[in-house]
């Protein structure tokens, strides 16, 4: 069975994906920034009793940490087959109130972090001429709701990096799949652990909008129709489904959206337009798995 490295596995989708893949027999290396934090320690204790599930520390804001984690996986398992880029964080607030340091930090975690992990893993995948880079993206790059500006920007950068990396990786036999969850408020720590803007003076200037921000999570949850089970396990199941497909048959992009925002239709047209443009450039071979 494949050897899988998952980032951001202490809670939410990452944790559920680790448990799901391990139960299916994958050799899973579930990474997290800290194994001693409250969430990390609890997850480590849970994972210790699960067969095929191993824990590795990996801070996506550090290239040295990413390099060490990937090296550890390869040394223990003998190879690496799949990287699930899942780690991410949420900011909630008014765009103007987020300082340049705030914005830079979030992009560093949510987008550059995946790039660091790829830089650590790709040398091994290129050498073996096989592997899968699977990205846990977001429908938010299309829906772009209010009061989540830095997060929207960071996930758009994450998606763009996944796409442009796929052209080059494909020529070394490495597949790419982007799984795009819609808004999920249950079973994840995104909203409860969200960070706020550093500039409190600017935040105060927007006080008239505070009631809107205060009901952000409630409004998001209300997008799901009654009777629909908006369980993040559905995203983990989709990741498992994609990874189980034969080489060359994995979808480039798939959407799991309990809010039914119609993002899959937008992305289908967007990817078709992009692929047509790449063909017109004469680089069509980069769209094919070699």
**Residues 6 or more apart in contact with residue 273 via CB below 8 angstroms:** none
The enclosing domain of 117 has a CATH number of 3.40.50.720
- Assess contact for 21 and 98: CB atoms under 8 A: no
pLDDT the model gives residue 264: 98
Q: What DSSP string runs through 166-193?
A: HHHHHTTTEEEEEEEE----SS-STTTT
Examine residue 214 and state whether it is found in any structural domain, yes or no. no
pLDDT at 43: 93
At 194-211, the pLDDT tens digits run 999 999 999 999 999 999
Residue 191's pLDDT band (boundaries 50, 70, 90)?
Answer: confident
Percent of the chain with pLDDT over 90: 93
**pTM higher than 0.85, yes or no?**
yes
Question: What pLDDT does 45 receive?
Answer: 94
The count of C-alpha atoms lying within 13 angstroms of the C-alpha of 166, restricted to the half-sphere facing its C-beta, is 26
Q: Mean of the pLDDT values across residues 1-15?
A: 96
Please report whether residue 210 resides in a domain. Answer: no
Q: How many domains would you assign to the chain?
A: 1
**Does a structural domain hold residue 41?**
yes
Rounded percentage of the chain residues whose pLDDT exceeds 70: 100
Domain presence at residue 211: no
In this predicted structure, what is the pLDDT of residue 193? 84
- Angle, vertex CA 217, rays to CA 224 and CA 269, nearest 5: 55
Contacts of 201 (CB under 8 A, 6+ apart): none
Q: Which residue has the tokens 């290239």?
A: 63
In this predicted structure, the answer to whether residue 190 has a pLDDT above a threshold of 80 is no
Return the active site residues.
151
Q: Is residue 179 part of a domain?
A: yes
Q: Residue range 236-265: average pLDDT?
A: 98
Q: How far is CA 128 from CA 26, 78, 121, in A?
A: 19, 12, 11
pLDDT band, very low/low/confident/very high, at 40 (cuts 50, 70, 90): confident
> Distance between CA 122 and CA 149 in Å, rounded?
31
Q: Residue 202 falls within a domain, yes or no? A: no
Residue 170 pLDDT > 90: yes
Cα-Cα-Cα-Cα torsion 4, 73, 108, 270, nearest 10 degrees, comes to: -30
Q: For residues 56-77, give the mean pLDDT.
A: 98
pLDDT higher than 80, residue 287: yes
| 247 within some domain | yes
Residue 258 lies in domain: 3-92+100-195+221-287
User: How confident is the model over 63-80, as a mean pLDDT?
Assistant: 98
- What pLDDT, on the 0 to 100 scale, is given for residue 258? 96
pLDDT score of 177: 98
Asked if residue 134 lies in contact with residue 237, where contact means CB atoms within 8 angstroms, the answer is no
Nearest to 259 by CA among 145, 111, 110: 145
Dump pLDDT digits (tens) for 43-64. Answer: 999 999 999 999 999 999 999 9
Q: Which residue's structure tokens are 């993040």?
A: 232
Q: What per-residue confidence (pLDDT) applies to 88?
A: 96
What integer pLDDT is reported at residue 192 of this predicted model?
77
The sheet with strand 82-85 has its strands ordered as 53-57, 27-32, 3-6, 82-85, 131-136, 174-181, 253-256
**Residue 44 domain flag:** yes
Quote the CA–CA distance of 130 and 276 in Å, as a whole number.
26
* CA distance linking residue 118 with residue 125, whole number of Å: 10
Whether the per-residue pLDDT at 151 is higher than 80: the answer is yes
Tokens of 100: 């340049």
3-state secondary structure of 13: helix
């Amino acid at each position: 069975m494949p050897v899988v490295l998952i980032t951001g596995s202490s809670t939410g989708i990452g944790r559920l994906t680790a448990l799901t893949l391990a139960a299916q027999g994958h050799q899973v290396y579930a990474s997290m920034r800290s194994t001693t934090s409250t969430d990390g320690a609890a997850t480590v204790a849970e994972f210790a009793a699960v067969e095929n599930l191993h824990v590795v520390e990996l801070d996506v804001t550090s290239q040295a940490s990413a390099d060490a984690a990937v090296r550890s996986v390869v040394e223990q398992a003998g190879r690496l087959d799949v990287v699930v880029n899942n780690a991410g964080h949420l900011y909630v607030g008014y765009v103007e109130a987020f300082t340049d340091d705030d914005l830079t930090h979030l992009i560093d975690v949510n987008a550059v972090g995946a790039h660091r992990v790829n830089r650590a893993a790709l040398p091994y995948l290129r050498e073996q001429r096989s592997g899968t880079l699977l990205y846990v993206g977001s429908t938010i790059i299309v829906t772009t709701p209010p009061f989540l500006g830095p997060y929207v920007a960071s996930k758009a950068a994450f998606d763009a990096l996944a796409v442009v990396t796929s052209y080059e990786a494909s020529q070394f036999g490495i597949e790419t799949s982007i799984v795009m969850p819609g808004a999920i408020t249950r079973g994840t720590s995104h909203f409860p652990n969200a960070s706020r803007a550093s500039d409190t003076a600017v935040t105060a200037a927007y006080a008239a909008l505070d009631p809107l921000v205060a009901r952000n999570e409630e409004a998001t949850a209300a997008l799901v129709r009654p009777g629909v089970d908006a369980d993040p396990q559905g995203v983990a199941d989709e990741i498992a489904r994609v990874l189980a497909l034969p080489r060359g048959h994995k979808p480039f992009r798939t959407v799991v959206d309990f809010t039914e925002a119609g993002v899959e239709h937008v992305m289908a047209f967007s990817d078709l337009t992009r692929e047509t443009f790449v063909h017109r450039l004469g680089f069509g071979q980069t769209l094919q798995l070699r």
